[in-house]
Structure 1
Amino acid sequence: MLELRKSIIETFEFTEKEFESIQGFFKPKKIKKGDYFLQTGQYVNHLGFVENGILREFLYENNKEITKWFSTSGYFAVDLSGFVYGQTSKVNFQALSDVSLLTLSKENYDIIGDRLPRWNKLEKMFLTNCFSVLENRVVSHLSMNAEERYSQLFKSQPELFNQVPLNYLASMLGMTPETLSRIRNKLSKSIS
């Protein structure tokens, strides 16, 4: 709960009192490596906050797995449109390690709006934060070459490179595993 407290208070400018009024709505959930938090076609009735571990968000496109994102400690995991609009998920969230989550049901998410007078502002900040992350990813894919995307991810989340299979990283970065290996080798030689 400590990581959630820090994230909500710092990122969304909650007061300590406001956080205390909603923390009971978050329920702990453990997911074993290889199991799913959410699968394509399931109704999205929970969002998750990763306390520790790694969830891989992916979808199938033309019979191929495409990795969209890795939710690590301090990140939320949710198919946002499915959650907000009560629809089925278009993506899967699979545990790449044992994962500890704090989950919030859609029902409790809506109740929080009744409890906190300024929830609309806080909810707007949450959604803006989600879209900012997405926008940054789109811009990086459009404006950066493969080596620059690799370097940016390595600088922001270096732990992924020791914990996540390279083919998943390559997929998220929009490159083949072979290209990722060439970039890794090139950059490691330039460091030596």
Structure 2
Amino acid sequence: MDIKDQLFQLFEVSDAQADLILSKFRQETFEKNTLLATEGKLCGRLSFIEDGIFRVFKLTESREVTQWMGGKGYFVTDLSSFFFGNPANYSIEALTPATVWTLDKQAYLEVQQEIPDWNILEKRFIAKCFMVLESRVFDFIARSAEERYIRYFEQHKSLFNQVPLQYIASVLGMSPETLSRIRNKLAN
């Protein structure tokens, strides 16, 4: 899915509005293991992943927690930092060489000024983000580790051959050993 398709789907914009928004993006490339955002610093960019895989993670006192991973066709940012100017809660790392299209905060504010009903379109985007979060919270409350694994595998098969399994285990809220046990059980 390309960036214009995602703008149509997530923001429900018109063709003219999509073209205006796209004119504000700039292309960036990242080498493997480089950061798009750093925990504790301002994240003033909203990026669309054209190619590559990113992970969103946080260092806690006892371990590193991967909160999200995604590749082509996804937007990535630290929402609290981008929208409210807070220090980033998470770091965002390229797990592979990557190309993104980035809208910086100033360009985003220009879009708000140039599209009269932007607040309605933005609300739809935020609501869709919230729906994903609701689904994820439900999975953690209502599904077993094995069910979470199966669901994640069905939705993100390509990640399993491209990223370290410890990151997948972290996203699923389990230890790498538990993930390994589930994989072995399902393989037999």
TM-score interval for Structure 1 and Structure 2 normalised by the shorter chain? over 0.9
Contact 2:53 2:72 in 1 (8 A): yes
Equivalent residue number for residue 123 of structure 2: 124
Any residues of structure 2 matched to 1:27-46 within 5 Å, and which?
A: 27-46=26-45
Greater shift, 13-22 or 174-183, is seen at: 13-22
Is 1:90 paired with 2:89?
Answer: yes
Is 1:175 paired with 2:174?
Answer: yes
Contact 2:82 2:105 in 1 (8 A): yes
- Secondary structure of the residue that 1:159 maps to in structure 2? helix
Counterpart of 2:176, as a letter, is P
Please list every run of at least 4 consecutive aligned residues from structure 1 whose deviation after the TM superposition is greater than 2 angstroms. Answer: none
Would you say how many aligned residue pairs link Structure 1 and Structure 2? 188
- Secondary structure of the residue that 2:23 maps to in structure 1? helix
The RMSD of aligned alpha carbons is 1.1
Contact 2:68 2:171 in 1 (8 A): yes
Q: Distance in 2 between matches of 1:170 and 1:26?
A: 33
Equivalent residue number for residue 150 of structure 1: 149
Q: Distance in 2 between matches of 1:130 and 1:164?
A: 24
Contact 2:80 2:89 in 1 (8 A): no
Q: Distance in 2 between matches of 1:151 and 1:96?
A: 23
Q: Distance in 2 between matches of 1:120 and 1:163?
A: 37
- Secondary structure of the residue that 1:74 maps to in structure 2? coil
Is 1:76 paired with 2:75?
Answer: yes
Q: Percent identity of the aligned residues?
A: 39
Q: Distance in 1 between matches of 2:9 and 2:102?
A: 19
Per the normalisation by structure 1, the TM-score is 0.95
Consecutive unaligned residues in structure 2, runs of 5 or more: none
CA deviation after TM superposition for structure 1 residue 74, in Å: 1.0
Equivalent residue number for residue 24 of structure 1: 23
Q: Distance in 2 between matches of 1:126 and 1:8?
A: 9
Q: Distance in 2 between matches of 1:127 and 1:167?
A: 29
